[in-house]
A and B are shown apart, each in its own frame.
Chain A
Amino acid sequence: MAEFTIRIPRVSVAISEAELIDLLVAEGAHVQQGEPLFIIATDKAETEVEAGASGTVHWTGTLETVYEIGAEIGEIRPAG
């Protein structure tokens, strides 16, 4: 099973960027698919984003940073 790339999701149509405001799973910790993983904010709303896969989380994104939609901010490495 390949690593799952964590990207800023397309949470709306009329947006081009979003700010990473909270990481809900610590670096190196395990996450279950569907569990809350991080929170982003656009100038319209805040959105809690779920994990797209299960495994250990490794972050490359940094908090309070504005990213383009689709930008890579980490990955989930499947266990084993």
Chain B
Amino acid sequence: MTADRTVGVSPEVQRRLYELMTLMKAADDRLSKGIASGELQCVYWPPRGQEAIAAAMGVCLRRDDQLVTNYRGLHDLIGKGVPLVEIYGEMLGRQTGSSRGKGGTMHIANPECGVMLSTGIVGAGPPVAVGLAMAAQRKGLDRVTVASFGDGATNTGSFHEAANMAALWDLPLVLLCQNNQYAEMTPTEHTMKISQVAHRAGGYGLPGVRVDGNDPLAVVAALTEAVDRGRSGGGPTLLECVTFRFRGHYFGDPMAYIPPERLAAALEADPIPRFRSRLRLAGICSEADLDEIEAAAVTAVEEALTAVLTAPGALVDELDRDVYADPRNCPA
């Protein structure tokens, strides 16, 4: 079933959504340009096209709510408030990175912002999110945990195990599937018999909702409902947000496996220009406001990147830190 009811979202929140979406796009654009020219050297899994979902998370979640995301998480991280200097710093191996440069693109975490884990392994996040939600429940906190993953992850054993446990224990957890319609190089319809990820929810005894992942207001409406259900002890939700990723699986992916007309249709549904015109028509932002928001995003990205490129690289003695709590336990 598709949730198309659009709850009244205040103008301020709608403007905030656009600010987040443009910052995510600017961060992706600059990174992609830098990697393509060889200026920036790192691996990268671009989320370009999926910004509406992460922006909705940004406005729906409290700072103390927790997020488990994955290697395609640049937008989720920005949505949850991780400073761009930390994200770029970690991707480019600088001491200013969230893990002082040694973890890399796929493993960015910032507990202060609630980002507890980014996994490099598809589907590995949801079980950890179960644990985080269980902890909140046991502490009696009204904190919610969100696990963000793609359609491919819902075919992993770990996803099924997590969904079942979450339902069984009525955990405050939102299983947020960013269905970008491709699991790596394979179209979703070739990886599952059912037509909607949300239909899987019935199998675990938790509600499943499917929304247009390119419409930030639709995502906000559905996510608000899921978060409120979790906070009030009503248990978990499987929220499927249908979207697309414009730059393929990994940066440099020639995307030979995507039919041109399918990509063209997806580009047509780009969430950012669509939401921009919506804000203008609703009179929430003028043309000038929107230009200003976009310019501010580019400036913020340039400032962050400059700070990171002038920061020192990760130290070699990082190799001797954080392997064990007490380094003396290192056998060799």
Contact = CB atoms under 8 A, between A and B. Distances in A.
Find out whether A and B make contact in their complex, taking CB atoms under 8 A apart as touching: yes
Interface of A: 4-13, 37, 45, 47, 49-53, 69-70
Interface centre among A9, A37, A49, A50 (most CB of B within 10 A): A9
A5 B41 CA distance: 12
Contacts of B38: 6-10, 49, 52, 70
Interface in B185-222: none
A42 to B, nearest CB: 10
B34 A12 contact: no
Contact of B37 (A13, A45, A51, A69): A51
B59 interface: no
Nearest to A8: B38
Nearest to A4: B39
Given A4-B39, A52-B39, A69-B41, A10 B34 contact: no
A10 B251 contact: yes
A51 B43 CA distance: 20
Given A13-B250, A45-B254, A52-B34, A7 B43 contact: no
Given A49-B36, A50-B36, A52-B34, A7 B41 contact: yes
B116 interface: no
Contacts, number: 45
A10 B43 contact: yes
Nearest to B34: A52
Interface string B112-147: 000000000000000000000000000000000000
A10 B39 contact: no
B279 interface: no
Nearest to B44: A10
Contacts of B252: 10-13, 47
30 contacts: A4-B39, A5-B39, A6-B38, A7-B38, A7-B41, A8-B38, A9-B35, A9-B36, A9-B37, A9-B41, A10-B35, A10-B38, A10-B251, A11-B252, A12-B253, A13-B43, A13-B250, A13-B252, A45-B254, A47-B252, A49-B36, A49-B37, A50-B36, A50-B37, A51-B37, A52-B33, A52-B34, A52-B38, A53-B39, A70-B41
Interface centre among B34, B39, B42, B254 (most CB of A within 10 A): B39
